[in-house]
A and B are shown apart, each in its own frame.
Chain A
Amino acid sequence: MNITVSNDFAQMCRYSQQTPEEVLQSFADQVSYPLFFTTKDRNEKLATYFFIQLIQSPEFKGQINESLEEHYFMQMATAINESFAQYPGDEEKAIAIARKIMEQWAKSAVAERSRYLTDDL
């Protein structure tokens, strides 16, 4: 990975005595839909809020398959609710189940994209 570190960011890292890698690592650890939908701690949601804000903004460059998105969000919500109903208060279990759905989602998103590409040929 190769990213340009802005002057502002570099200075903030310097004064707080962290490397940019460390800051980005702790950010990356918390960008997670499973965590976002399971945790009650608002601070743990912030990184994912940033991500959602990014994909929702008009400047967003990527492409999202919206029907897949809707489908898997529904699945995840149902699974998390069921997990909490079965094991009240157990966030770990709910996160684990949500992660499995994320995996399927990522797989079908890739499959969908390649299908689109081959159809185009």
Chain B
Amino acid sequence: MVVLLEPVYSRLSELPALYYNGTRLVMGLNELTDVLINFLKQMTKENPNLLTVPLEFKVACFTYKISHQEALQIFINYCTIYHTLKPGYTRLYNEALETIFQYLELKRPGTEPVVDQGSETQGCLLAILEEVIENGASASRVKKEVAKQVNRLIKSTPGTYYPKPRILYLDEETPLELSKDFCAMCELYECHPAEILDYYMSKVSIAEMDTRHDLKIEEDNCSMFFFMATVFNYLQQHKELLKLTDQEDAFIQEAEEYRLYLYPIKNLAHRTRLLKEFYEEQYFSVNPNELNYVN
């Protein structure tokens, strides 16, 4: 697609003229902006190293005063090869991994979340696993060994499934550093890091969480649990964020009142949708610029 933008100076009323594959299109500024936004959207779709953050995830991050970058970085850091091998439950690490496995299950139903048999890396990892179980090696020793293998894996593979250098972008100025472990997993499970992060973001919805709480329906969303638990830790470390401005305080009160107002609606999906719209409205009232990027 060739788009040539050329200002037409001869007649001011026709300011921007757009050429598309040789045909000249004259349009108003609004239409022109639409065309450009669509064009940019296409560009971003074509660039797999640029993440698109869905609105619900933005709303969730905004509500708990954590940046998208920080929230995603925390998720990446909790995905480790060591914990895929370690038997038993480790809080937060298991929830992060469960998110990845859920995505893999969705992408390739029925297959084990393990790569094809006989590959060298797979063999190494299995050997380590055996060591964990049989020799009762100390955790630090196993961790060291896993790190060594991960390094080897990263060096020996061409990086088909992750970007090199190991960075994803939320926009031009916001990089997201992919850990070696995360990249190694993408290589083992044959998926791009952006796919996993997209899935994680799509699972986070505070509207659904709050509605489930109000309707007393049990929550089985491990990604949401992970998000809330890590945000809680984050806020504990950044106590200054816990002080609310008058506006934030008003938002919380409005939201609580609205949740009571929704009491008569017993359908989970319906109630979630209404609460979601309410949260989005609050979000847009503070970030009016975001409205341009929706749809």
Do B263 and A52 touch (CB < 8 A)? yes
- Residues of B262-292 contacting chain A, CB below 8 A: 263-266
| Residue B214, interface by CB 8 Å | yes
A36 to chain B, nearest CB (A): 9
User: How many A residues touch the partner, as a band?
Assistant: 10 to 19
B38 to chain A, nearest CB (A): 39
Do B266 and A69 touch (CB < 8 A)? yes
A55 to chain B, nearest CB (A): 8
Contact with A along B246-268 (1 / 0, CB 8 A): 00000000000100110111100
Do B264 and A77 touch (CB < 8 A)? yes
Do B214 and A73 touch (CB < 8 A)? no
Do A70 and B260 touch (CB < 8 A)? no
User: How many B residues touch the partner, as a band?
Assistant: under 10
Chain B residue numbers with a CB within 8 Å of A66 are 266
| Residue A2, interface by CB 8 Å | no
Do A49 and B266 touch (CB < 8 A)? no
A52 to chain B, nearest CB (A): 5
Chain A residue numbers with a CB within 8 Å of B214 are 56
Contact with B along A56-99 (1 / 0, CB 8 A): 10000000001001100100110000000000000000000000
B37 to chain A, nearest CB (A): 38
| Residue A53, interface by CB 8 Å | yes
Most chain A C-beta atoms within 10 Å of own C-beta, residue among B260, B264, B265, B266: B264
Docked CA distance A79–B232 (Å) = 44
**Selected A-B contacts with CB under 8 Å, 15 pairs:** A49-B257, A49-B260, A49-B261, A52-B263, A56-B214, A56-B260, A56-B263, A66-B266, A69-B264, A69-B266, A70-B266, A73-B264, A73-B265, A76-B264, A77-B264
